[in-house]
Amino acid sequence: MLTLSSLLLPTALLATLASAATQKITVGARDNVFDPDEIYASVGDVLEFEFFPGRYDVVQGDYDSPCEPSPRGFYSGFVMTEPNDDDERKKFIVKVNSTDPIWIYCSARSFCQYGMAAVVNPVFGGFPGQTLPEYRDRASSVRRAVTPEGDFPRGGTFVGGDDNDDDSSSSSSSSSSRPTSTVTTSVAPTTEPAATTAAPTQTEENAPTGTTETIPSATTGAASGLQVQGMMGAGVAAVVGMLGFML
């Protein structure tokens, strides 16, 4: 038997589904920003982050710690979109489960420090200073944005495009395959030839073209000197002998 409550239940369910809205947010469509950067969503609504050309991620953070991930927040992982991928842009889908403020930033490069942040359901009144301009002002002094660790995506799902770019795994594999300096040094020959063998001699480099000239040695010069001295001595003796005969 049909009752009034059984008739009203499907109607209420349809009304709930119809009231759920999709809040579309572009990521990097212009000037490395989230657009819009202030979003108002109800419980059950869906946040749809659409990635434009570039390398970006979507990180849920906390107001008190700009550019740092929330321990239980959602994270898309890095997404690399090429300029010719306009028809297959990836979309990160997150369901809203609370009307509390949700702070969002991008951890790529220094985008967070330069203002790439957004907030869902910002609170005006009751929490003085917790505004997006204040968040950005404090983020500008952060040394570096923190990229969440662990598996991703989490807290949401992807639709469209290929799988998101796991940049951390590719960087670790490339670093492990890079040869170390020890390996580079070990391929050098263990025995190095002497410098005198490989390098040209001074005579070969600087000698003039007339290299056929023979320079007498010191021994030959000495022998010639003794021979001259002997001949001079014999001549003197002959002169002395002639003088003695005449006297």
pLDDT in tens, 195-208: 443 444 333 343 33
Whole-model pTM above 0.85?
Answer: no
- Report, in this order, helix, strand and coil percent for the chain, each rounded to 5: 35, 20, 45
Query: Residue 100: how many CB atoms within 10 A of its CB?
Result: 9
Q: What is the pLDDT of residues 190-238, one digit of tens each?
A: 444 344 434 443 333 433 334 333 334 444 444 444 343 444 454 444 4
Domains of the chain: 19-169 (2.60.40.420)
| pLDDT over 80 at 82, yes or no | yes
DSSP states along 149-175? PSSSSBSSEEESSS----HHHHHHHHH
Top mean pLDDT of 11-15, 150-154, 157-161, 181-185 is at 150-154
